[in-house]
Structure 1
Amino acid sequence: MMLIIYTYVFSVIFKAKWDFAATGSKQEFAITLFCGMLIFSVFSECVTKAPTLITSNPNYVKKVVFPLEILPVSLLGSALINYLIGMAILLIGQLVFLQNVTWTLLYLPLMLMPLLLLSLGLSFLLSSLGVFLRDLEHSISIIVQALYLLTPIFYPVTAIPEEIRGFLYINPLTGIVDNVRKVVVWGIQPDWMNWSVEIIVSGIVLWLGYWWFLKTRKGFADVL
């Protein structure tokens, strides 16, 4: 239902158009929009649930010898399963309405790597911080809602004035969404330079998040 509403608002009222759209149809707009929403859903599910990941499982910390690192990984796994279900629906819609699925879809696992590294790194970081900062989940929810609007999910990057367009790329999700759309919907080569930068940045986030998790996990039992 929300997909239909977003498609109507942005394609009809605001007359937004995707840069590489082949037909310009409402169906193509909806599929392109859905593709971006799926990417953000993985990120959103991980970072909004991470702050309560440890506090909602105190028995794993206090009473059982349990590798707590599994919790952020399982959270990402759950988000990824939901993404794959959504992607299957998207591809069916693409076959029905656009009559094509391009060979560049083979790039999808590579294009998802920065998203997975980033989401996992933030899950490690936020799940640890959430033990010590109990109100963190509320702040994260607000930030995620703002990020939802600042990520080019409902509009193309070129819709933003060129003078401030560069600020969009401070958000790592911008390049990820753009590259996934290129290989899934539009059938063109991804921006490999952006992808390389995203891999490096996401890898650093994962390393820092995991390092912080290991550094602080010894204090979890004392707080819980």
Structure 2
Amino acid sequence: MKRGKKYQESAKLIDRMTQYEPEEAIDLVKKTAVAKFDETVEAHIRLGVDGRHADQQVRGAVVLPHGTGKTVRVLVFAKGDKLAEAEAAGADFVGGEELIPKIQNEGWFEFDVVVATPDMMGVVGRLGRVLGPKGLMPNPKAGTVTMDVTKAVNDIKAGKIEYRLDKANIIHVPVGKASFSAEQLQDNFNTLMDAIVKAKPASAKGQYMKSVTLSSTMGPGVKVSTAKIG
């Protein structure tokens, strides 16, 4: 893949054989984020587990102290009093069964996170085929299937992110924007890594934290030393 001039210049700042301390890695990611827009800083974490086994799944959610820098649109499936509660909490879209055809047939996806009360999961389950592949299906482990819709909406708006393994046993998550201060990115990164270390499955054997890489949307990857992490 041919990379642009800016990318090639940025890549010269990084030694691909070196594993940097988190502080140093964050500084390098900020220096190499040279696109004309505010790039997202992402963490790519390879774990020594096999996600094909249910007892080795790593999945959950964590509220980043400084948020992600992105405005998140929340859709809440609820009924009765919970509809008004979700609206009061600041949900962008609130509804029930009437939203199913809008999503299923009209391809409406103007939301980033879906929250549902448990009594609505029968309805939401019918959207499994369209929400599932997009990673939008509400899940109790991520705190998006709950009766406490106020807390769910507040946490998401405050910067709650979901993490889960992909097929290659890697977690890809945003930890902020390139415009964040190094301290803000460090706080977010530490909070994320603590959550992932705590989520280590009891059945995981050998080295848990295989590799950690930080990068901006358009920038090169910077390897992070895992010596002090988990």
Report the TM-score when normalising by structure 1. Answer: 0.31
Relative contact order higher in (CA < 8 Å, ≥ 6 apart): 2
Larger strand share, 1 or 2: 2
Choose between structure 1 and 2: higher helix proportion: 1
